[in-house]
Amino acid sequence: MSKPEENQDEELRKVLPFFKTWRSLYIFVIAELVVLIVLFYLFSNHYA
Amino acid sequence: MSWIDWMVLGVTTLFIVAYGIWKSWGASNLSDYVLANKSMKWWTIGLSIMATQASAITFLSTPGQGYDDGMGFVQFYFGLPIAAVVLSIVAIPLYHRLKVFTAYEFLEKRFDLKTRGVAAILFLIQRGLAAGFTIYAPALILSTVLPWDTTWACVVIGVVVTTYTVLGGTQAVSQTQKLQMGVILAGMVIAGVMLVLKLPDNISFSNALGIAGKMGKMEVIDFKFDIESRYNVWSGILAGTFLMLSYFGTDQSQVQRYLGGKSITESRMGLLFNGLVKVPMQFLILLVGVLLFVFYQFERPPINFNKTSTEVVQKSQYADTYTQLERNYSAIHARQRAALQAWDEALDNNDQAAVEQKQAEAQSLDENLNDVREKAKILIAKAEMLEAGESVAKYEEAEAYLLESQLLNNANGGVDSVRLKKARATMEELKDKLKRDSDRIFLTFILDHLPVGVVGLLIAMILAASMSSTSSELNALGTTSVVDIYKRMLVKDKDDGHYLNASKGLTIMWGVYAIGFSLFADQLENLIQAVNILGSLVYGTILGIFMVAFFMKKIQGTAVFYAAILAECIILYMYFFQPKALAFLWYTPLGCFAVMIFSVIFQKFQPKTEAREINDI
């Protein structure tokens, strides 16, 4: 990992300590989208 | 509205505007004015990004979309979290490192001046027109609430927004947006809770969703790949990602929000925050629309939600026919309400046969209600044409022949098929002109059914939403006009004070232009779709230029410039001459790929020069 990216990760940890790296925050954002799509699908099936 | 509502509306709006001006007073140079002196924290950026995107159109049109078409529109936003991640990785660190004022400034560093110019001009055209829509939406509300017509409402709102945007610049825009988002979120929660409370006592929240589901409003997800369908998972994820990349990565009204961040971390977190909350927020707003639909199954809605149009038809020669339609509508609605009540009871009693029978009855009656609503819209369209001095003779003739042909059919023959075909085509032409009234459904509910005080707060919410997005747009239009066009191409080498004043002057000019355009916005289709279609026509080309800049190291300015011109011509040709070939969401990826492919081709005909890559600039 490049030096500037490591500095960025360090800065992130100061603001959001439960995310160690930017990559983990990116994964969290995409995972939320996947979970929402699954929930919406179940929601559609239940009521439609 | 009562005086209490007026007070809530006035105090909320004035407080937000005054707070914004107070917090932003005293910008002494262009950097302070345009980038808020790079002092923004991530929550201010995040709320500012959300407020910029969530205009009054979002809060007027989206519940209307839920009411008419159900929940499927949420899929449009699936590309947003993906775009937020991509831009956090690629664009934000680059923009910060280059210390640019606008996204287009980066294009000159990477390519050349003409490429910067074409992207800036495409943005100015598109965003200038969109600003007109965002002024028109709240003007629509005021013209319903106040004894003003829409024209005056557009002028008053436009002048208020332009004034505080000019006085405080980016700082005023972002500070007001924090409060505006607070009012907006509180307003939507209150509206949702009030709707649930206003459902009949025996209809629970879950049963209400069940009713909506049986009426076809709860299909949130559509996995079927269909290039002509506006909203499905694939168009949301694939085409939607391109549209959102373009909007958040290259549209100055958004880029300027995170360029004001104190650091890369603050800017990234602001954008990712939006990526996390936008999809659930849109889902909840659409759900409000669906609950409105259920509410109006038990409370008789107006046959048409546009009160101004209803007044026109009631004063026309069609008044008696319209009154008759209203009586039919009331009778069918009463039968449908009874069917739904019986369906709900059958559901509670686990009587499957009765459930199916009552469900089919309610669905059939719903179709009848839609037929009556369409007939009312046809009457309104004809009445408005007569009022405007236009002839309706050909539509009257077509309607008469369609009726006659039905009688002839029943009498077994004598129908002139050519004439019948022509009559149908004429009526289709009229139906294409029918105005959608879905933008006024939520507003009608607020005004007719909510208690004193709450009405004022919700109108303040819609005004806040409109002002927040319009101010971002005017702020970005003024900035781009000065930084990319005026300072770079027209009047060079003046002092900072001169450009600060020019920025204020051009923001005023864009305010006037947006007000002018807003006066014609009611001629267009459903508002939110009109804005999205407008964006799709130019976003692909702009995104293509940026994609080439970021990822195609060997392509230089001249090739990408001509590629962008050709791609934009193709998109405009598709929209105006082949409108049914492709749903509008796909214009963005099409435009983007066209720029990338043509750039490669044109580059082959360019003399070989030293490539200027991102790392070199």
Ordered DSSP codes for B545-607: HHHHHHH-TT--HHHHHHHHHHHHHHHHHHHHH-TTSS-GGGHHHHHHHHHHHHHHHHHHTSP
Per-chain mean pLDDT for chain B: 85
Contact B218 A43 (CB under 8 A): yes
Q: How much is the pLDDT for B322?
A: 92
Residues 91-110 of B with CB under 8 A from A: 93
Task: Say whether residue B212 is in contact with chain A using an 8 A CB cutoff.
Answer: yes
CB of A35 within 8 Å of a chain B CB? The answer is: no
For A24, name the nearest residue in chain B, comparing CA atoms only: B85
- Residue contact A26–B85, C-beta within 8 A: yes
Asked whether the beta carbons of B184 and B162 are under 8 A apart, the reply is: no
Indicate the pLDDT class of residue B615, thresholds 50, 70 and 90.
low
Closest Cβ–Cβ partner in A8, A25, A47 for B210: A47
Q: Tell me: pLDDT of B610 over 60.
A: no
Q: What's the confidence (pLDDT) of residue B505?
A: 92
Q: How many residues does chain A have?
A: 48
> Contact, B405 vs B339, CB < 8 A?
no
Q: What is the pLDDT of residue A39?
A: 94
Among B218, B286, B291, pick the best mutation site for testing chain A contact (most A Cβ within 10 A).
B218
Which chain B residues are within 8 Å of A8, Cβ to Cβ? Answer: 93, 264-265
For B275, which residue in chain A has the nearest alpha carbon? A29
Q: Is the pLDDT of residue B327 over 80?
A: yes
CA distance A41 to chain B (A): 6
Q: Give the residue with greater pLDDT, A35 vs B147.
A: A35
pLDDT at B460 over 80: yes
Contacts of A16 in chain B (CB under 8 A): 269
For residue B420, give the nearest of B454, B442, B397, B451 by alpha carbon.
B397
The beta-carbon neighbor of B275 closest among A29, A40, A47 is: A29
Nearest CB partner across the interface for A30, out of B74, B85, B269? B85
User: B276: which chain A residues are within 8 Å (Cβ-Cβ)?
Assistant: 29, 32
Nearest one of B220, B374, B384 to B286, comparing CA atoms: B220
Nearest CA among B529, B591, B522, B521 for reference residue B563: B591
Reply yes or no on whether the pLDDT at B276 is more than 90: yes
Pick from B209, B265, B272: CB nearest A47: B209
The reply to whether B277 touches chain A by the CB within 8 Å rule is no
The pLDDT > 70 percentage for chain B reads 93
Q: Please tell me the distance from the alpha carbon of residue A32 to that of residue A22, in angstroms, as a whole number.
A: 16
Find the closest chain B residue to A9 by CA distance. Answer: B265
Residue of A nearest to B219 (CA): A44
CB neighbours of residue B155 within 10 Å: 18
pLDDT recorded at residue B343: 85
Residue B542, H or E segment: helix B527-551
ipTM of the assembly?
0.92
C-beta neighbour count of B148 within 10 angstroms: 15
Q: Chain A within 8 Å of B275 (Cβ-Cβ)?
A: yes
A29 touches chain B (CB under 8 A): yes
Determine the pLDDT at residue B450: 87
Q: Confidence band (pLDDT; 50, 70, 90) for B456? A: confident
Mean pLDDT across chain A, nearest whole number? Answer: 86
B73-123 pLDDT per residue, tens: 999 999 999 999 999 999 999 898 888 889 999 999 888 899 999 899 988
| Model confidence at B59: pLDDT above 90 | no
**Among A33, A41, A43, whose Cβ lies nearest the Cβ of B78?**
A33
Task: pLDDT band for B277, please (50, 70, 90 cuts).
Answer: very high
Q: For residue B614, what pLDDT is reported?
A: 61
CA angle, corner B226, sides to B223 and B228, nearest 5? 140
Residue pair B283/A40 in contact (Cβ under 8 Å)? The answer is yes
Measured in angstroms, the CA of A21 and the nearest CA of chain B are apart by 12
pLDDT of B410 > 90? The answer is no
Where does the pLDDT of residue B142 fall: very low under 50, low under 70, confident under 90, or very high at 90 and above? low
Query: For residue B52, what pLDDT is reported?
Result: 87
pLDDT score for B28: 72
- List of residues 6+ apart from B279 with CB closer than 8 A: A33, A36, B74, B77, B78, B80, B81
Is the pLDDT reported for residue B44 higher than 60?
yes
Averaged pLDDT for residues B21-44: 78
Confidence check: pLDDT of B143 > 60: yes
* pLDDT confidence band for B583 (50 / 70 / 90): confident
Query: A with B: how many residue pairs have Cβ under 8 Å apart?
Result: 67
Taking contacts as CB-CB distances below 8 angstroms, the residues of chain B near A47 are 209-210, 212-213, 218
**Residue A2 scores a pLDDT above 70:** no
pLDDT at B611 over 60: no
**pTM given for the model:** 0.84
DSSP-derived letter for residue B231 is: S
B339-362 residue pLDDT tens? 888 888 887 788 888 888 888 888
Nearest CA of chain A to the CA of B321: how many Å?
Answer: 37
Residue A37 touches partner B, C-beta closer than 8 Å? yes
Q: What is the pLDDT of residue B144?
A: 66
Residue of higher predicted confidence among B174 and B327: B327
CB proximity A44 to B under 8 Å: yes
Give mean pLDDT, residues B464-486.
88
Nearest CA in chain A to B237: A33
B157 pLDDT band (50/70/90 cuts)? Answer: confident
Give B156's pLDDT tier (boundaries 50, 70, 90): confident
Residue B89 touches chain A, beta carbons under 8 Å: yes
The CA distance from B168 to B192, in Å, is 34
User: What is the DSSP-derived secondary structure letter of residue B192?
Assistant: H
Pick B499 or B31 by higher pLDDT: B499
Q: Which two tokens stand for residue B42?
A: 């991530």
Q: How far off is chain B from A32, nearest CA to CA, in Å? A: 7
